[in-house]
Amino acid sequence: MPDVVAPFVEIENVVFRRDERVIYEGLSATIPRGRISAIVGPSGTGKTTLLRLIGGQLRPESGDIRVDGISVQGLKRDALFTLRKRMGMLFQSGALFAELSVFENVAFPLRVHTTLDHDLIRLVVLMKLEAVGLRGAVDLMPAELSGGMQRRVALARAIALDPEMIMYDEPFVGQDPIGLGVLLTLVKQLNQALGLTSVVVSHDLQETLSIADHVIMIANNRVAFEGSPADMQASADPLVEQFLNGRPDGPVRFHYPAPPISEAVS
């Protein structure tokens, strides 16, 4: 696969701090258009934070994040909301609106942002639910669905407005093997069928790498690796190697920084 695809998201030299803690220190990466990009890395390195920066929910201290050429951090509230119509996001918990039925949840973005009439909305909602295999659940309430099904409904909601990009925040967490397989297939299918730019944040490494075209690994406040999954497997970088093979000690240390044990116990 040629790797010269126009980028959809460009992240340049981003510095981000939460309170005193440095999350990113000059992070740069690109997310190619129409491909599946995986953002991987040890827990607590701020993978979800990156999605929130792209979506403009957080603002970087310095640096530039461009979505389809538009600088996100400079946007006024209204312009930001307009840009967000072009992105969908699937949250870790699904984040369905608890007081609305499955149908109303998927219809929500359509009702807010379009002037489609009732019949047309129904048609679109049923199509989106069909795509995630849950047309039969259209009249249920979110509380009646399993975690995996909730995530699929949330996925249907995220693609309701036919966004150009969809961001998945830890979509595979807490899934049994079947649910995981279903979600993997869906991510892949949606990407191919709709030509979506997909960004998957996950630490289920092997599963994510199996569908990804592009990998960004974040560690130690910056990008530790960016390239194709094959390149990643072949990488000689000790950090990448430790992460791929799941070794407890290496560049990412097993011990939390502390004075030597001889001092602590004397």
Residues lying near another protein in the complex (CB under 8 A): 52, 55, 57, 77, 81-82, 84-85, 87-89, 91-93, 95-98, 108-109, 112-113, 154, 157
User: Do the Cβ atoms of 26 and 223 come closer than 8 Å?
Assistant: no
Show the tokens assigned to 174: 């807490």
Least Cβ distance, residue 111 to another protein (angstroms): 10
Least Cβ distance, residue 15 to another protein (angstroms): 23
In the complex with another protein, the residue whose CB is nearer, 93 or 228, is 93
In the complex with another protein, the residue whose CB is nearer, 85 or 135, is 85
In the complex with another protein, the residue whose CB is nearer, 5 or 121, is 121
Least Cβ distance, residue 140 to another protein (angstroms): 18
Rounded CA separation 79/196 (Å) = 22
Least Cβ distance, residue 79 to another protein (angstroms): 11
In the complex with another protein, the residue whose CB is nearer, 32 or 109, is 109
Least Cβ distance, residue 214 to another protein (angstroms): 22
In the complex with another protein, the residue whose CB is nearer, 161 or 209, is 161
Alpha helices for the chain (secondary structure H): 47-54, 77-84, 102-113, 118-131, 147-158, 177-194, 205-211, 229-234, 238-245, 261-265
Tell me the longest C-alpha to C-alpha distance in the chain. Answer: 76
DSSP of 175-233: --HHHHHHHHHHHHHHHHHH--EEEEE-S-HHHHHHH-SEEEEEETTEEEEEE-HHHHH
Rounded CA separation 70/258 (Å) = 44
Least Cβ distance, residue 82 to another protein (angstroms): 7
Residue 265 neighbours by CB under 8 Å, 6+ apart: none
User: Do the Cβ atoms of 65 and 7 come closer than 8 Å?
Assistant: no
In the complex with another protein, the residue whose CB is nearer, 68 or 213, is 68
